[in-house]
Chains A and B, each alone.
Chain A
Amino acid sequence: MSSSLSPWLALAGLGAFHGLNPAMGWLFAVALGLHRRSRGIVWLALIPIALGHALSVAAVVLLMLGLGTLVETRHVEIVAALLLIGWAAYHWRFAHRHRVRVGMTAGLAGLGLWSFLMATAHGAGLMLLPVLIPICLAAAPAQGLVSAGSLPISLAAIGIHTLAMLAVTAAVSSAVYEIFGLAFLRRGWVNLDLAWIAALVVAGFFLIAA
């Protein structure tokens, strides 16, 4: 296990990047607050948004750990890299074409489901793999989860990432709700999809080069 701080900073940084993306939840929190005329709803919405995101990331991490017990770390990296680049290509081509399952009457459970689906469809968990594979698998290739202590490290990683994501989601949603207002959506809503796709591709190539 690396003693360096940098992987944890990277996980937090990616959490902030995810939180910044309106498709990950801050916009939905703002919309529900405006729709139901309640500041409390904006804050309450953050809980299922963060949980859904964390669950999606956790699912990817579990798959990675599972694969790590079966094959060499290098093979996990190659599989993850291919997934990342494939996800980026799919996102580029078909992201606009998703089935909408949750609408403005969403309750907290619906919002959690929505957040889980959005994080999964966007490959949020996959994007963390270049950081997670070294700290979770490199020390203990092709061994059990428990023996290497991979599980607690993974949980800590998901926790750090989600906390950073939650903090930025909270900051952006309250800034838009309290200060900037809806006009922000017309002016300030820059296209993060391109940056997102680029991040997926960079993460993929990073793993191949590792």
Chain B
Amino acid sequence: MPTIAPDPTFYPSPRMAAKAPAESLAYVAAFDPERAMPDAIAVVDVDPASSTFSQIVGQTDMPNTGDELHHFGWNACSSCLCPNASHPHTERRYLIVPGLRSSRLHILDTKDTPKSPKLVKVIEPEEIAEKANYSRIHTIHCGPEGIYANALADAEGNAPGGIMLLDHETFEVRGQWEIDRGPQELAYDFWWHLGHDTMITSEWGLPSTFENGLVPEVLLGSKYGRRLHFWNLHTRKHQQTIELGEEYQLVFELRPAHDPTKAYGFVGCVISLRDLSASIWTWYRDGDRWQVKKTIEIPAEPADPNTLPPVLQGFKAVAPLVTDIDLSMDDRYLYVSCWGTGDMIQYDVTDPLAPKETGRVRIGGIVSRAGHPKAGGPLNGGPQMVEVSRDGRRVYFTNSLYGAVDPQFYPDGIDGWMVKLDVREGGGISFDERFFVNWPKPHRPHQIRLQGGDCSSDSYCYP
């Protein structure tokens, strides 16, 4: 039912969203790598004043096993206030939770029982295949035409992957988003510049090259994704491809500036075949074309081969493996997860073409196995899915990447954890010594969504 006043969690501008009250709950996707127990959305208490702070206070199990919950998102968010397609009286209450492996979509209602969301609808992969011809559902974004969900493959598991639209009230699958996909075949992440009517998509690979783990021959042959695609958000036509270069593999998370007047953003590239370094690239508008520039390079660290997993032993180095990034609401700080080395790095990106490191913590890591003030060490896994509070003062992250890839880099297994950083005014990050979630087995945690919205959930039309 529509409401009389706009949803109070919708903000016209990122400037106003940054003044939102602090979150008290975090929703976390948790999956069983053995695919024996159902995956779940866990609810973590993040209110420092609560007696259950840093504890899992609720959980909603999926109805099946083997979904591999991964990323998820809201049915509606601040883009509902956009002037060209406003739906301000829709409520942000449903989590759209895809299974990356099962291609099943779950709709969870958080309104009445926020600590134990109710499963209200399941969309089976057959329906998605029939209506949109897609599978392996990955990223979810609420946007101008409803709910956008992207898929890494077509219904048969082949190229092309792409984006589909869902009705944001009935959750009906409405079909493929693309009208002209041009040369785009691979998919990974997508987001947009609402102020510039531009969609951006990135590339991973096809299911046959990741569902049983990364394939070294594919990687060394540079056959995983290495391109960015730019689209007209409203004509839904492909406009431009930018190739990062043959040595760059796995182009992942896209973080456009929140300010809709700004035409730049950041994307992480997991690995360079030349020296195992990871990199961050800034895309920006140059006249009527988009350009990219490599603005951060994080080098591999030399290591004793005996401490390395087989996949890295020949290189005698641990790769940083930047697998997620997140941009603060004021577009000032970029957080970069180095899942290999165990670093979480904060960069000041006030000048998006010249980032400066302003903070760094280390936890876990393939070689370092660094501990945490509350948990001690050694810890395995490394900084992975990272989420930033709307006011930019708190950063949360978890340590698992993907069921089939985890053991390639952490062969002795990953014990799940979730931690929180406090951000100092003017830059600098440190662990909240009271916050460490020792994740209950057999689950491992992945993406985090903060109640009311966070820095990768909402997009804005007003500066």
Q: Taking beta carbons and an 8 Å cutoff, which residues of A are in contact with B?
A: 22-23, 27-28, 30-32, 34-35, 96-106, 114, 182-183, 185-187, 189-191, 193-194
Contacts and interface: CB of A to CB of B under 8 A. Distances in A.
Contacts of A183: 16
Contacts of B234: 100-103
B190 interface: no
Given A31-B461, A114-B84, A183-B16, A96 B5 contact: no
Given A35-B195, A102-B234, A106-B84, A187 B145 contact: no
B83 A27 contact: yes
Given A35-B261, A96-B168, A183-B16, A103 B144 contact: yes
A190 B462 contact: no
B5 A191 contact: yes
Given A101-B234, A186-B12, A27 B3 contact: no
Contacts of B195: 35, 104-105
Contacts, number: 94
Contact of A97 (B4, B83, B146): B146
Given A31-B462, A104-B461, A191 B84 contact: no
Interface of B: 2-6, 8, 10-13, 16, 81-90, 144-146, 167-169, 174, 194-197, 233-235, 260-261, 461-463
Contact of A99 (B6, B145, B260): B145
Nearest to B143: A100
Given A103-B194, A104-B195, A186-B11, A28 B5 contact: no
A185 to B, nearest CB: 5
A23 B2 contact: no
A185 B261 CA distance: 19
> Dominant SS at the A interface?
helix
B167 A97 contact: yes
Given A22-B86, A182-B16, A186-B6, A35 B462 contact: yes
Most buried by A among B3, B83, B461, B463: B83
Nearest to B167: A97
A105 B3 contact: no
Contact of B197 (A23, A99, A105, A182): A105
Contacts of B11: 186
A193 B4 CA distance: 9
Nearest to A25: B83
Given A35-B260, A103-B194, A104-B260, A185 B84 contact: no
A97 B167 CA distance: 7
Contacts of A32: 83
A92 to B, nearest CB: 9
Nearest to B234: A103
Contact of B12 (A104, A114, A185, A193): A185
Given A35-B195, A103-B84, A187-B5, A96 B90 contact: yes
21 contacts: A22-B83, A35-B261, A35-B461, A96-B90, A97-B169, A98-B85, A98-B145, A101-B234, A102-B84, A103-B84, A104-B196, A104-B197, A104-B461, A105-B197, A185-B12, A186-B6, A186-B8, A186-B11, A186-B16, A189-B5, A191-B89
A191 B4 contact: yes
B423 to A, nearest CB: 25
A152 B37 CA distance: 74
Given A27-B86, A104-B84, A104-B195, A190 B4 contact: yes
Contact of B463 (A23, A27, A35, A187): A35
A9 B186 CA distance: 59
B10 A105 contact: no
Most buried by B among A32, A97, A99, A191: A97
B83 A31 contact: yes
Contact of A190 (B5, B83, B85, B145): B5
A186 B19 CA distance: 13
Nearest to A36: B261
A92 B83 CA distance: 19
B83 A28 contact: yes
A35 B193 CA distance: 13
A114 B88 CA distance: 18
A198 to B, nearest CB: 13
Nearest to A105: B197
A136 B450 CA distance: 58
Nearest to A98: B85
A169 B268 CA distance: 44
A80 to B, nearest CB: 27
Given A182-B16, A186-B8, A23 B194 contact: no
In the A-B complex, the 9 residue pairs with the smallest Cβ-Cβ separation, listed nearest first, are A103-B197, A28-B83, A27-B83, A31-B83, A182-B12, A100-B85, A191-B89, A100-B144, A105-B197
Contacts of A187: 5
A101 B197 CA distance: 10
B29 to A, nearest CB: 27
Contacts of B461: 31, 35, 104
A106 B10 CA distance: 23
B87 A96 contact: yes
Contacts of A185: 6, 12, 81, 88, 462
A187 B6 CA distance: 8
Contacts of B8: 186
A105 B90 CA distance: 25
B2 A193 contact: yes
Contacts of B169: 96-97
Nearest to A184: B12
B3 A191 contact: yes
Contacts of A97: 146, 167, 169, 174
Nearest to B16: A182
A185 B13 CA distance: 10
A182 B196 CA distance: 20
B462 A182 contact: yes
Contacts of A186: 6, 8, 10-12, 16
